Amino acid sequence: MNSPFHSPPHGRPRISFGTGPLTPGIKGIIFTCAGVFVLQALVPGNWLESYLGLSSRGLLGRYFLWQPVTYLFLHSTGNLFHLVFNMLMLWMFGGELERRWGTQSFLQYYFLCGVGAGLISVAADVLSGLLRSGEGAILSPIPTIGASGAVYGLLAAQAILFPNRILLVFLIFPMRMRVAVFLMAAITLWVAIGSANSSAGTAINHVAHLGGMAIGWAYLHKAWNPMRLWRNWRWQQKRKRYHVVSDIKDDDHDRYH
């Protein structure tokens, strides 16, 4: 299987863009997002964004319980790049995961990261309003839309499963996958803190991006099981004492499924 930016065991490195034909799950997500995008452009006003986008007022104030799922399919009609970039990233980094895990497990992971990112965003929004007002929670009507939170979860999976894979950042700078994803997370966190301290704010929900990445990391590491985390940490410490010689590359280990 041709993997993105994956070097073969022998010979010169081979650079490939994407992961081949669209897999069933990713094809369904892309077609759905594209269809919803057309509906957003045709429906006057912001009706779809208000009801299907995710906001703390919609979810907690009006009990629109579908919003943590439906917001993933909406994108900004004023910026076509928002949709194109998210779908391109989904194809580039999600195709191999779907082939590796199967469509059902991939979709489970994708929506877990997306829904988790949205809920973390709402929690951060409520907490921010509570700290600013000092009296009670202020539920914001401003919706969050887009698949970026779920896509960031895919990036986390790539960094965990293929940490040593070489990624060409901006198609120029070669960088190991885990380093590239870590730097992306650090930059996103820095921008999120800066925008939180600024009165102007930002149109990009960086908290949702970080939330998707955090949910993906926690899921793949089974972080809800402290004993498992402790055993894995002990195993890693013991492993450092030995030099393991193997013909199997790290990227070929199927530790997560």
Cβ proximity of 117 and 208 under 8 Å: yes
In the Cβ-directed half-sphere of 161, how many Cα atoms lie within 13 Å? 23
Show the domains of the chain with their CATH numbers. Answer: 24-237 (1.20.1540.10)
Indicate the burial class of 88 (C-beta count within 10 angstroms; 0-12, 13-18, 19 or more).
middle
The phi-psi region of residue 87 (left if phi > 0; otherwise alpha if psi is between -120 and 50; otherwise beta) is alpha
What is the rounded distance in angstroms from the CA atom of residue 168 to the CA atom of residue 166?
Answer: 7
pTM, two decimal places: 0.79
Both tokens of residue 17? Answer: 């863009």
Q: Answer whether 46's CB lies under 8 Å from 55's CB.
A: no
pLDDT digits (tens), the chain, 257 positions:
333 334 344 444 455 556 678 999 999 999 999 999 999 999 988 889 999 999 999 999 999 999 999 999 999 998 899 999 999 999 999 999 999 999 999 999 999 999 999 999 999 988 877 777 666 667 888 899 999 999 999 999 999 999 998 888 777 788 899 999 999 999 888 888 777 655 545 567 889 999 999 999 999 987 666 676 677 767 777 776 665 554 545 444 443 33
pLDDT tens figures, 5-54: 343 444 444 555 566 789 999 999 999 999 999 999 999 888 899 999 99
Beta pairing, strands 166-169 & 173-176: antiparallel
CB-based contact 123:56 (threshold 8 Å): no
How far from 105 is each of 112, 155, 256, 257, CA to CA, in Å? 10, 16, 11, 8
Task: Give yes or no for a contact between 95 and 197, defined as CB atoms under 8 angstroms apart.
Answer: no
Strand partners, 174: 168
Chain centroid to Cα 33, Å, comes to 16
